[in-house]
Copies of this chain bind each other. A is one copy, B any other.
């Protein structure tokens, strides 16, 4: 018959994990017998531990060491055993205090949030900046720049202002530019950049047929705002140094591997990919990156006006304080959503 997780096993597993999270040392039966409030002897604990090991929830680094949680053990802990954690008063206060209130550049808000998160968790924070393509257009202006070039100023509904320098015909007049800008604004207002596809462009095309000589130029003009992947889905890292203090990374080669990942934006993106809403936890081998064995990631998506536009999370050793980290990521996500959807944006 299959072994079952009774109440005592749960208690023991919880005790093992919590102790290991604190100490990073394999934990033995003595320790559990002493610290837990079950009134049983180490021998009994040993029997239970043997069962837990058979269930794949804990493992032994070597024969004569204590037990450490396996990935499956952490998973069980997170799903079923973990005490619900609320943010400490200080943390909450600190977040309130350090959250940017002013209308700042969106990039700044993102970067600052990541930094704060890494400081509060003592882990590495990863933030995926808002998908540029999902932001909605509000207004387009052109300004003269140099002969044959103009500045295109794009204002989005979330308040972001972007410049692009574009090529134009030398003989184009300011009036022409204004006219084109008006048509663009009129046709594209309210659309997300991603949505400005054929239908919209077609409308612009129609509108412009009167000034035939403008057409070619005009369509070239909006190109940069449509596929400017320059700051597309930027990834921000915070507190990478925190990992150096984790005992699991006392080995130099591990550090190297980890930091190599930190330099590969595309890997990081995959790790906190915002393809599903809500708070998500990836434990150890659950993420497929070889180099991130031994690491867990906690992340969630944030929204702006109801639409998911990015994600934010922390990365740390599998032996991390899941309860605290989850509470923090959750709170920060909500905070970010509030700020981004705030009154002035």
Contact = CB atoms under 8 A, between A and B. Distances in A.
A153 interface: yes
Interface in A107-166: 108, 141, 143, 145-146, 151, 153, 155, 159, 161-163, 165
A260 B245 CA distance: 12
B146 A143 contact: no
B163 A153 contact: yes
Copies of this protein, total: 2
SS of A interface (majority):
mixed
Nearest to A144: B139
A132 to B, nearest CB: 15
Given A241-B260, A252-B252, A256-B241, A103 B141 contact: no
Contacts of A244: 252, 255-256, 259
Interface range on chain A: under 10, 10 to 19, 20 to 34, or 35 or more? Answer: 20 to 34
A263 interface: yes
A250 interface: yes
A163 B162 CA distance: 8
A35 interface: no
A198 interface: no
Contact of A165 (B103, B145, B259): B103
A344 interface: yes
Interface string A247-259: 0001010011001
Contacts of A141: 143
Interface in A212-270: 230, 241, 244-245, 250, 252, 255-256, 259-260, 263
Given A143-B155, A145-B161, 12 more contacts: A103-B165, A105-B230, A143-B153, A145-B155, A161-B163, A161-B165, A241-B263, A244-B256, A244-B259, A252-B252, A252-B255, A255-B255
21 contacts: A105-B230, A108-B230, A141-B143, A143-B153, A143-B155, A145-B155, A145-B161, A146-B344, A151-B153, A151-B155, A151-B161, A153-B153, A153-B163, A159-B165, A162-B163, A241-B260, A241-B263, A244-B255, A244-B259, A250-B252, A252-B255
Query: Closest 6 CB pairs between A and B?
Result: A161-B163, A244-B256, A141-B143, A241-B259, A151-B161, A143-B153
